[in-house]
Amino acid sequence: MYLDLCQTTTYLDVPHDRVTEDSQLHIGHLNTDLPSKKGNVSAVRKAGARAFIKPNVTWDGYGVLYNLVDKNGAGVPTSSVVFDDAVTPQQARVSVSAQWDRNESNRIGAWNIDLVVFWARHRLVDSVEAGECRDGTTASQRANDRVKPALRARIAEHHDQLVQLRQISTIIQKMQKIVDDMTAMAASGKTRVTLHSLKRAI
């Protein structure tokens, strides 16, 4: 992005949605047809169709669910999926988590950078001495004319519009801290949870 105060100012309302290709990873194929309630079988749910794994971050950010899905992201039974050779469920979870973190970092990072650049452009417009564009208007006039009235209030730099990055690696670290604290409590005798039952649950 380059700065030209005589050009149109653009603005996005929210970060772009995650695309299916960024949110799931091909790990195998279906071993049976999966018909809908009406009995129809779409191409992506026929035996031999590609199967994927997709992570879903829980609402409170303290857990990750790994679902097996078809190409369109609809869930499929675990028993209906055959993993490709040399791919284990654990390897699939690791790979899709790394892919999620990388793509989410790019998605949220791009949004936050664009938003900060947008604010910076308008700070510069507000502070620069008026200079004429080719049509005789000033840079400040042109920038103000190009921004829709409904957006002008947002140029006040509401920092809550910046989006916090949530990555699976960070969530797992939080969960590990909980496990460590539970283990310490069990070892100290401050809880009825035993190390044996804790390890069995994990």
pLDDT tens digit sequence for 97-128: 999 999 999 988 888 888 888 888 877 776 66
Query: Does one domain contain both 37 and 83?
Result: yes
Query: Does one domain contain both 185 and 151?
Result: no
Residue-range definition of the domain harbouring residue 56 = 20-87
Alpha-carbon distance 167 to 64, whole Å? 10
Query: Does one domain contain both 142 and 176?
Result: no
Alpha-carbon distance 198 to 46, whole Å? 41
Domain assignment present for residue 93? The answer is no
- Computed from CA positions of residues 90, 93, 98, 101, in that sequence, does the dihedral angle turn out positive or negative? negative
Name the average pLDDT for the chain: 78
Domain assignment present for residue 181? The answer is yes
Domain assignment present for residue 36? The answer is yes
Domain assignment present for residue 119? The answer is yes
Looking at residue 200, what is its pLDDT?
Answer: 54
Q: Among residues of the chain, what percentage have pLDDT more than 90?
A: 33
Place of tokens 């892919």: 99
Task: Give pLDDT tens digits for 165-189.
Answer: 888 998 988 888 888 988 888 888 7
Please count the other Cβ atoms lying within 10 Å of the Cβ belonging to residue 52. Answer: 24
Domain assignment present for residue 54? The answer is yes
Query: Does one domain contain both 182 and 133?
Result: no
The token duo for 129 is 């001495």
Query: Does one domain contain both 157 and 172?
Result: no
Query: Does one domain contain both 40 and 77?
Result: yes
Domain assignment present for residue 121? The answer is yes
Assign 166 to helix, strand or coil. coil
Query: Does one domain contain both 36 and 76?
Result: yes
Query: Does one domain contain both 80 and 109?
Result: no
- Of 129 and 166, the structure prediction assigns the larger pLDDT to 166
- Band of pLDDT at residue 91, cut at 50, 70 and 90: very high
Query: Does one domain contain both 75 and 125?
Result: no
- Computed from CA positions of residues 42, 43, 45, 48, in that sequence, does the dihedral angle turn out positive or negative? positive
The token duo for 186 is 């069990």
Residue 81 CA: distances (Å) to CA of 30, 64, 150 = 5, 20, 50
Looking at residue 76, what is its pLDDT?
Answer: 96
Query: Does one domain contain both 80 and 116?
Result: no
Domain assignment present for residue 11? The answer is no
17: left (phi over 0), alpha (psi -120 to 50) or beta: beta
Domain assignment present for residue 118? The answer is yes
- Computed from CA positions of residues 106, 111, 19, 63, in that sequence, does the dihedral angle turn out positive or negative? positive
Q: Is residue 181 within 8 Å of 198, Cβ to Cβ?
A: no
The token duo for 88 is 């284990």
Query: Does one domain contain both 55 and 107?
Result: no
Alpha-carbon distance 90 to 97, whole Å? 11
Total number of domains in the chain: 3
